[in-house]
Structure 1
Amino acid sequence: MYKIKENPEDFIVEEVMDLKLNENGRYSYFLLKKRNYNTEDALRYVADRLHIDRRKINSCGNKDKIAITTQNISIENLEKAKRKDYDFNDISLKYLGQGDLRLNLGSHKGNKFIIIVKDASEPKEVKEFLNLFGPQRFSKNNHLVGKEIVKGNFEKAVSLILEGNGRYEEEMRLRM
């Protein structure tokens, strides 16, 4: 039986972004790298460490917890003294510059993944696949959907999706 996400190093996600920098912009952009944190907990941690209101921090979306993820964040009106790199062990921030746009859900171009599947019967390299796996994707059945996708049972995965009640259910029905 295959195994995925046994540890964070088995699931690496890198957000793809094209930031437009402007040295006088009201938003500070950082590259947030986190290990074994969900996105919301990581953003709360950053707000606490920088002594700022959590509501000033925005991201392009949620990334997995049991993973090593890299994503962009924007912080509104951050004082100049705090515009630098930080290392908080399992969370780090790399200062990228200033800009005019607040990052929001979907502001990024996409995500790159490295997924290690252990104990697989036949190793396969996959260059591209739809981003349909993870807790934010479908419904309470998402772990079952992901399992069927990894097993190659795509019809069963689609059936489970169509049974779901997630927030993207209608959009996914239209695409399928």
Structure 2
Amino acid sequence: MSDMSLWPPDWPRVHGGPLASGEFRMTPEDFIVEEVFDFAPEGQGEHLWLWIEKRDLTTPEAAKHVARVCGVRPRDVGYSGLKDRVAITRQWLSVHLPGRDAPDAFAVQLSDVGIVVLDAQRHPRKLKRGVHRTNRFTLRLSGEVASHPDLACRWRTLCTVGVPNYFGPQRFGREGRNLVLAQKAFTRGWRKRDDPHGMQLSAARSFLFNEVLAARLRAQTWRTPCPGDVLTLAGTASRFVADEIDAALHERAARGDVTPTGPMWGRGRLESVAEVAEEETRLAARHEALSLGLEAAGVRMDRRALCVPLDAPSLEHDAPDRVTLGFGLPRGAFATSVLRELMHHPLL
């Protein structure tokens, strides 16, 4: 970044600010997330897929435990999404076990480290990253926000218009540390061996995307197609450039059938055109060290929706100062970006 003393950035919210202070994820039981897939294991094949529930573990930590207990290399264990540590999460992991069964009592050994095996099925292929469709969240909030008189109204608005698809603060590290590391890496030349999981690249791309989304939110065009926008069709990976904007396209955007996108910066064609492309390029140039560093590292340009809908949302008051939210989000969207529209918290 050009000036890390400006961290945290002042990225706007839909309503201008949170309702009140509150707490979330005080215990793992306050933050429950479950992956949702469009398919199921076939019941035969070289890979054993494990439907697990983990508590107080990151996904890579859980994968390492599974590899150890099953006697395989860590790279022989696959998973679709990275899930938080302080949470209860349910997700599939795959283990490459050609021609043999899992060790006896492997489920008992995993339970000793906080992993419960809920199901086990065979499948021909390893589980790859990013193949689940959505994540289903059940979050418990407490404190002033839970009893705020406007909470239900604010929640209904988000259910109607959707949520800004910001990358959450966990992507950037404490006080933006991952961005500092990215800037240092780009100055000397990014090397994969120094950033094997791409954390620095991801933080830089996420920051630049959030900057574009913030500008569109300030202009009140984060849900509204503009000439030159790249629009994505709801529930698909299909995209098209909106050369002309008419009433029918505005109506489709209002229904959530199409959504404007912003750039995930990298090398290649921007896709957007006209004034939209000029603005996206201008915002990237404000943080030249990051944008040029991503290009030099060979990251490929991509797009991401500016707005995401809440799937099957619910709100229930468990007590005067406690509320439970339920909702689904597309893969890659952050539940913390939903919470920041409702409440003030140091981690939001």
- What is the TM-score with the length of structure 2 in the denominator? 0.39
Match of 2:63, SS state, is helix
Greater relative CO, 1 or 2 (CA 8 Å, sep 6+)? 1
Matched, 1:117 2:124: no
Match of 2:69, SS state, is helix
Structure 2 CA distance for partners of 1:59 and 1:81, relative to 1, 3 Å: closer
Once residues 52 and 103 of structure 2 are traced to their aligned partners in structure 1, the CA distance between those partners, rounded to angstroms, is 15
Once residues 29 and 9 of structure 1 are traced to their aligned partners in structure 2, the CA distance between those partners, rounded to angstroms, is 25
Match of 2:144, SS state, is coil
Runs of 5+ in structure 1 lacking a partner?
144-163
Structure 2 match to 1:160: none
Matched, 1:107 2:131: yes
Among residues 9, 14, 19, which one is paired with 2:39 in the alignment?
19
CA distances 1:111-149 after superposition (whole Å, capped 9, x unpaired) = 0001111103325457675584462xx423799xxxxxx
Structure 2 CA distance for partners of 1:131 and 1:99, relative to 1, 3 Å: farther
Give me the identity figure in percent. 22
Among residues 163, 168, 172, which one is paired with 2:206 in the alignment?
168
Please say if residues 85 and 95 of structure 1, whose CA atoms lie closer than 8 Å, have aligned partners that are also in contact: no
Shift of 1:63: 0.2
Shift of 1:165: 4.3
Runs of 5+ in structure 2 lacking a partner?
1-20, 177-201, 213-261, 263-304, 307-348
Please say if residues 83 and 95 of structure 1, whose CA atoms lie closer than 8 Å, have aligned partners that are also in contact: no
Structure 1 match to 2:107: 86
Match of 1:47, SS state, is helix
Letter in structure 2 aligned against 1:113 = F
Match of 1:80, SS state, is coil
Structure 2 CA distance for partners of 1:81 and 1:49, relative to 1, 3 Å: closer
Shift of 1:52: 1.9
Once residues 171 and 13 of structure 1 are traced to their aligned partners in structure 2, the CA distance between those partners, rounded to angstroms, is 25
Structure 1 match to 2:87: 67
Shift of 1:102: 1.8
Please say if residues 12 and 68 of structure 1, whose CA atoms lie closer than 8 Å, have aligned partners that are also in contact: yes
Shift of 1:93: 1.8
Structure 2 CA distance for partners of 1:50 and 1:131, relative to 1, 3 Å: farther
